[in-house]
Structure 1
């Protein structure tokens, strides 16, 4: 008997769309001024976190007289109030493009500013979250992190220069790498991922898991930093295919309980992986094969544990009294009403074809496993 003909459809909009231009390689930030000019811009606003002001000043110098100024105010989880202030600041400075310098906080603030202003973004990532590859942004509104998507938030250009990440602390490197790995694992079961993007998730998982131990053994290795940025690039591309269970739980921890973004992903990833392996074994088997294991959830738990990141919710400040609220927020965060500022095109975490919808019982299973913190048992 012949197999059934292949058939698939994936959503339009921002799904599976990556930035139009990517410049990758050590030393590539030297061309930043040219990238501003390529966009037809002449007043770039450099956006970074308070802790990366020195680097922001350096890159503002690279841009020279085409730089309108520096906004060193980005923070994790992108509070909506900060995005609004940034928008007003960009307008007052007559900025005609945004340059995000740093990790997901800087990129996220640029996305929030760009949503309303329409200003193009040049992203210069120094961590491994991969968010610079997408037009999605999680913004915290009234204590809940909610996902939004817009073409305006997709970077026009991404410049990957591993030399900028050489000083990234080991713990931050590890958490950021687990964030990128989470993108790869979360997207694989989804029907929304393009057949062209899916291999990026699988290769991204291989690169990230193979490189992270080498990077932590020698943080000064430019080769390892460059490879991890490549893994981040692949993980970010994978994220354009969609997101569901992993991100629903991790964003709840970050937006509502103040857990740092990379740590939030790391602490629940082993337990989310265990659920996905049980309910969507075939696609997850491709990831397992790529990373060289026949026990993917246990492999991820070992990785998180061995790099020194937390594997229990107690380690990130949650206890039994938070259980009900954590489940409710994870399930309902994307079921929000219209907002006068964002007018979101809401991503549906329970989109048709998702084999593991974000439901109360599934999230409860993950929360309870993460509360116990035990290495997931291999399912046979």
Structure 2
């Protein structure tokens, strides 16, 4: 067995159905008195019920969270934090809202309660990606790790199938790269396989019956496991490219993961034979890269970067930015192979 180091991330997780009703007790347990509730604009009505749930301990709602966590949005939220003497944060939503909470926490060290409504998984990580001047910069700090995460299956039942698929495959990407991470370890590999297996089977069930409690529960559980992977070990080429594309072209974070993952896995598979063996078991297919491509395509996901806003001339820019400050990767990066990867994802080719 390989030598390894395993670090467990601190945090409290409540998982199940109806768990949202435990929010007031969690606010009380953390000793909070003035809590700012965060959301995206389209979820503002939904989070108004949270303000009612915690009553006088609500410091109001900031519904300005947006994709890729622009620093300008964080600065506006920080003004409210200061004005209202906020001592804690509640973030309800997907990666955009979670990212905003983390960005505020990085600068203030305020405690966070995160209530995910998608399968993004970032709530389980000490990682923050922020965008400024067309570049997305990623960093890691214990300050941004949420103190409490409340998973309530009930909140995911109305998540549209398209968003369920894109955020679910986004979560799978965390676990795929954890299997060949430089600091991988046997514990995280077990968690990664279980997370991939759960989501790979749950997403078709949700597409067939969006109200399926079994499907929704399995997907949320899988997303939690994959989020643990993201928060415990380093990522590689796939995540680097996705961050580049999001920062440079404003592409949807989750959709970008769907389009890139099969091609990034194909690029790396010969350099990661143990990971490939585990993936074959998890997805039940001898060619995991093709299986992941077919999963997204069969569930109606866009598989071509050109279909959601990337310009053709962006292929070379993406390669340049990826090589400028590359992540560690099991296979050495070279321009020709990397350009082929991005070009295939741009066109939506079968890997």
Q: TM-score range by the shorter chain?
A: over 0.9
**2:327 paired with 1:349:** yes
For 2:296, the equivalent position in structure 1 comes to 304
* CA RMSD, Structure 1 to Structure 2 (Å): 1.6
In structure 1, which of residues 144, 164, 167 is the aligned counterpart of residue 155 of structure 2?
164
Query: Which secondary structure does the structure 1 equivalent of 2:128 belong to?
Result: strand
Correspondence 1:24-173 to 2 at 5 A = 24-173=15-164
2:333, 2:90 → 1: CA distance? 35
Cα deviation per residue 1:199-241 (whole Å; 9 max; x = unaligned)?
A: 1111111001010000111111222111111011011001121
8 A contact 1:349–1:358 mirrored in 2: no
In structure 1, which of residues 8, 11, 21 is the aligned counterpart of residue 3 of structure 2?
8
Identify, as 1 or 2, the structure richer in helix.
2
2:307, 2:282 → 1: CA distance? 30
In structure 1, which of residues 340, 353, 363 is the aligned counterpart of residue 338 of structure 2?
363
Query: Which secondary structure does the structure 1 equivalent of 2:186 belong to?
Result: coil
Correspondence 1:209-358 to 2 at 5 A = 209-240=200-231, 241-332=233-324, 335=325, 349-350=327-328, 354-357=329-332
TM-score w.r.t. the length of structure 1 is 0.88
8 A contact 1:79–1:141 mirrored in 2: yes
Are residues 366 and 200 of structure 1, via their aligned partners in 2, closer, same or farther at CA, if it must alter by over 3 Å? same
Unaligned runs of 5+ residues in structure 1 are 1-5, 336-347
Shift of 1:26: 0.5
Shift of 1:18: 3.1
Correspondence 1:178-189 to 2 at 5 A = 178-189=169-180
Aligned length: 350
